[in-house]
Amino acid sequence: MSFEFIAYGSITGDPEECEIDSDSDTGEWSIPSEGVLAISYASDNDDSVEEAMYTIDGDTLTITSEYENNNGETESDVVVYIRK
């Protein structure tokens, strides 16, 4: 499946002024196994695929991904989406 990710942010620092951020992207996603979300971004030139764990509880989707920071330490990002 394909997706379009549109990021917004304030260029001037004023929270009332939002513009489309350069982090916006498109890509493809799939679910290769239960609880695993695979994402590839069009901007990646190396055909890499990021994998993250996901759970769905009622109207709440939680995506947890791990990555290595600049110090070589593993960190986690958690993103929660709630359907309205």
Token couple for 68:
């290595």
Q: What is residue 5's predicted lDDT score, i.e. its pLDDT?
A: 83
Nearest CA among 49, 7, 6, 57 for reference residue 29? 49
The rounded distance, in Å, linking the Cα atoms of 5 and 20 is 10
CA dihedral of residues 25, 31, 33, 39 (deg, nearest 10): -10
Q: Which residues pair with 81 in a beta bridge?
A: 61
Question: For residue range 25-72, what is the model confidence (pLDDT) as tens digits?
Answer: 899 999 999 999 999 988 887 778 999 999 999 999 999 999 889 999
Global pTM value: 0.66
At 41, is the secondary structure helix, strand, or coil?
strand
The rounded distance, in Å, linking the Cα atoms of 8 and 34 is 31
Per DSSP (E only), the strands in 42-83 are 50-57, 60-68, 74-82
Q: What is residue 46's predicted lDDT score, i.e. its pLDDT?
A: 78
Question: For residue range 9-22, what is the model confidence (pLDDT) as tens digits?
Answer: 877 777 778 888 77
